[in-house]
Amino acid sequence: MRYMTRCCWWISFFILATGASSSQTLREAADRSGMLVGTAVRPQQLSESLYATTLAREFNMIEPEDVMKWETIHPAPETFDFSQGDQLVAFAVSHQMKVRGHTLTWHQQNPKWLTGQQRTPEQLARILEQHIKTVVGHYRDKVSAWDVINEAFDETTPVKLRSTIWYDQPGIGYAGKGSRYMENCFRWAHAADPGALLFYNDVEAEAVNPKSDAIYAMVRDFRRRGVPIDGVGFQMHLGNPHPDVASISQNIGRFTALGVKVHITEMDVALPVDADGNAHSADLQLQAIAYRDVASACLAHTGCTAIQTWGFTDKYSWIGSHSKHTQGAALLFDREYRAKPAYEALRKMLESSRRR
């Protein structure tokens, strides 16, 4: 009986949400609650009117999906191409938005000139230091936060550091020495822009589990020894609309207790879809509850200061191609830029929060 009541309440909520305009935008609700609400962005879509206007109206923070990753921003050994990243930063400045930089060190989307040639650890260390200091320095005082390291831990049992070009293939001189190589990356980024917030970002670590335990131990060690780490990003790619919200809240709480900020950095909630990419209305209600509950878990901790989605319209979501079109409809707006129940659920949760 309780389930039926909850379900019917959300069906009524859906009718109200889609039948009347919101009293304020998502961005307005976030601004008034003292939160950052962001989304990952593709600069090539900024020329699309609905994309650009929806982005500027609804979000107060943006992050590049790909254009600040190595293969785009550092395409040749002595060449840096900031053109697309600069385009996003200019859009953000013109619309009074903050920018998260993504990402300085990752094992994927690296250029062939970097991965296709054998180098010594000393050579790789010089290349990585130059890359981090050049990119962060270029965006000094323009990018407010950086994902310095992305996905350095694997999903094995027991959890260990992922084998990568930066760690042990051949690494930058600290193979077998745990997170020591990451410590250098944070120090280089801090030297290039002492005012930027520096984050470690990972997937499947939003709840209390072996991976988040390993990340927690690293962050605690870094904080004790004065390594300049300011926050942790939980990607929050959810494969179904039933997250363990209690565990997510507990996890956020223990990280913020260390004195670091938490950002939800890449949230989407994948749903089963039909051949036309449409999700069932009942699943959309469950998705709305998931967005609402994750936002509630974040808002319960003053150190959780940002909620960001990986894109904002289903028109450009990565979920369809990644799942061979068996899943989709994962974001706040549909393919026609219409707000979905998840949008209204997140907006109302932000609206109800008053941190200031």
Q: What is the pLDDT of residues 195-204, one digit of tens each?
A: 999 999 999 9
CATH architecture of 24-352: Alpha-Beta Barrel (3.20)
Q: Is residue 17 predicted with pLDDT exceeding 50?
A: no
For residue 355, what pLDDT band results from cuts at 50, 70 and 90?
low
Q: Residue 78 catalytic?
A: no
Q: Is residue 188 predicted with pLDDT exceeding 90?
A: yes
Please give the average per-residue pLDDT across 268-288, as a whole number. Answer: 96
Q: Is residue 99 predicted with pLDDT exceeding 80?
A: yes
Q: Is residue 288 predicted with pLDDT exceeding 90?
A: yes
Please give the average per-residue pLDDT across 314-342, as a whole number. Answer: 95
Please give the average per-residue pLDDT across 113-121, as a whole number. Answer: 97
For residue 6, what pLDDT band results from cuts at 50, 70 and 90?
very low
In terms of pLDDT, which residue wins out, 253 or 356?
253
Instruction: Provide the pLDDT for residue 72.
Output: 98
pLDDT exceeding 90 applies to what percent of the chain? 90
Instruction: Provide the pLDDT for residue 21.
Output: 45
Dihedral angle computed from the Cα positions of residues 324, 328, 330 and 336, in that order, rounded to the nearest 10 degrees: 130
How many other C-beta atoms can be found within 10 angstroms of the C-beta atom of residue 271?
Answer: 23
Q: Which of 58, 151, 183, 344 is catalytic?
A: 151
What is the residue-averaged pLDDT of the chain? 93
Q: Is residue 43 predicted with pLDDT exceeding 50?
A: yes
Q: Is residue 231 predicted with pLDDT exceeding 80?
A: yes
Give the gyration radius of the chain's Cα atoms: 20
In terms of pLDDT, which residue wins out, 7 or 104?
104
- Half-sphere exposure of residue 137, counting CA atoms within 13 Å on the CB side? 10
Full-model pTM: 0.93
For the stretch 124-157, pLDDT in tens is 999 999 999 999 999 999 999 999 999 999 988 8
Instruction: Provide the pLDDT for residue 97.
Output: 98
Dihedral angle computed from the Cα positions of residues 61, 67, 70 and 75, in that order, rounded to the nearest 10 degrees: -150
For residue 100, what pLDDT band results from cuts at 50, 70 and 90?
very high
For residue 192, what pLDDT band results from cuts at 50, 70 and 90?
very high
Please give the average per-residue pLDDT across 333-356, as a whole number. Answer: 92
For residue 3, what pLDDT band results from cuts at 50, 70 and 90?
very low
Instruction: Provide the pLDDT for residue 23.
Output: 74
* 91-to-42, 82, 84, 259, 300 alpha-carbon distances in Å: 12, 14, 11, 32, 31
Instruction: Provide the pLDDT for residue 353.
Output: 87
* 230-to-66, 90, 123, 131 alpha-carbon distances in Å: 23, 25, 28, 20
For residue 329, what pLDDT band results from cuts at 50, 70 and 90?
very high
Please give the average per-residue pLDDT across 56-62, as a whole number. Answer: 98
Q: Is residue 62 predicted with pLDDT exceeding 60?
A: yes
pLDDT exceeding 70 applies to what percent of the chain? 93
Q: Residue 266 catalytic?
A: yes
